[in-house]
Amino acid sequence: MSEFRQDPITKNWVIIAPERAKRPGAFKRKKKRDERKLKCTCPFCEGNEKMTPPEIMAFRKKGAKPNEPGWTVRVFENKFPALIKNKSLDLRSSNIYLNMKTLGAHEIVALHKHKECMARESVSVIKESIEACKKRCSQLSREVLIKYIHVIQNQGARAGASISHPHFQIFALPLIPQMILREIDGTEEYYKIHKSCVYCDIIKEAKDNSRVILENEYFIAFTPYASRSQYEVWILSKRHEPRFEKVNNLEIKPLADIWKKVLLKLDKGLENPAYNSYIHTCPVNSDLSSETLNFYHWHIEILPKLSIWGGLELGTEVVINIQSPEEAAKFLRNVKVKSR
């Protein structure tokens, strides 16, 4: 049975989930596979709907039935979830330690074509996947015990992807991660000093230097000033908004377009690298004040896995990045891509 366990020093929570070891290929070093053969047995592929739990929602062609072929984006519970539905947290203490049930949700948002890279999906399908994530985040946030919803997209075994089929994962957590709390504290502290949102000021500052990769009317993509990895990219909304699920209908297609273009540039320029991509958004059902939360600004972070962190990074969180973000931005700006 999986459970949350809290480190008594850092207050970080860890999910102990032995059931996840039952996933196909867990702990095995992956060999190069024939993707054409893999497609027949990939549980996320169109036509293999019976290999997953029943769908929660889907975008599908007119006349297509639920849990059958004919969809472009499909949402369902993870067959090997890190979080499971419980009626209570059941917080327990044992000597100096705290643990509790892994209450929450762990869902898959699968894109219909079996490709190794989401960058090669169409803008329309990426748009639908963003709409699906937005809708599920909104619905999951209504569950009072859920405190934070984390949307991720991993590519490549080196980035932790156990299935190469393009997909997002949604984690609905009964707690606010320490990383998010640090970001919220930082945004609040900055606002008290400067009377403005730090992320909005980052956008203004980025426009005046060489770290911008591309932008459109609603979003900007750039390499952050203190990049933690080579070719790290952030995508920020130009409209101040704390919550991802509040992205409006006018913004979804431009978001899909800029996200795809960034991934295409990474794919073409770096020869299809492994990467982790995730959305940082405002907590839900939180005890934090509405004023404190309003200082926050949702955003996307994309971190290619081009180097391995050593003892300095892991032991101190002081990162050595062997490439300047200005050099990375210049390289990515010069990678020509087409988006459709």
d(CA 188, CA 35): 48
107 SS3 class: strand
Q: What is the pLDDT of residue 22?
A: 67
Q: May I ask the CATH architecture of the domain 3-23+34-173?
A: 2-Layer Sandwich (3.30)
Q: Give the start-to-end residue ranges of the domains of the chain.
A: 3-23+34-173, 180-333
Query: Is-contact 138 44, C-beta < 8 A?
Result: no
For the entire predicted model, the pTM comes to 0.91
Encode the chain (340 residues) as per-residue pLDDT tens digits: 688 899 888 889 899 888 776 665 543 444 555 545 545 689 999 999 999 999 999 999 999 999 999 999 999 999 999 998 877 888 888 889 999 888 999 999 999 888 878 999 999 999 999 999 999 999 999 999 999 999 999 999 999 998 999 999 999 999 999 999 999 999 999 999 999 999 999 999 987 779 999 999 999 999 999 999 999 999 999 999 999 999 999 999 999 999 999 999 999 999 999 999 999 999 999 999 999 999 999 999 999 999 999 999 999 999 999 999 999 999 999 999 987 7
28 SS3 class: coil
Query: Is-contact 125 112, C-beta < 8 A?
Result: yes
Tell me whether the CATH fold assigned to 3-23+34-173 matches the one assigned to 180-333.
yes
CA distances from 267 to 155, 164, 259 (A): 11, 15, 12
Per-position DSSP letters for 113-164, written without gaps between them? S--S-GGGS-HHHHHHHHHHHHHHHHHHTTSTT--EEEEEEEESGGGT-SS-
Sign of CA dihedral 293, 296, 297, 302: negative
Catalytic residue, candidates 167, 280, 297, 299: 167
Q: CB 30: neighbour CB atoms within 10 A? A: 12
Q: What is the pLDDT of residue 99?
A: 92
* Residue 144 CA to its chain's centroid (Å): 22
Is position 167 annotated as part of the catalytic site?
yes
Q: What is 180-333's CATH superfamily?
A: HIT-like (3.30.428.10)
81 SS3 class: coil
Q: What is the pLDDT of residue 207?
A: 78
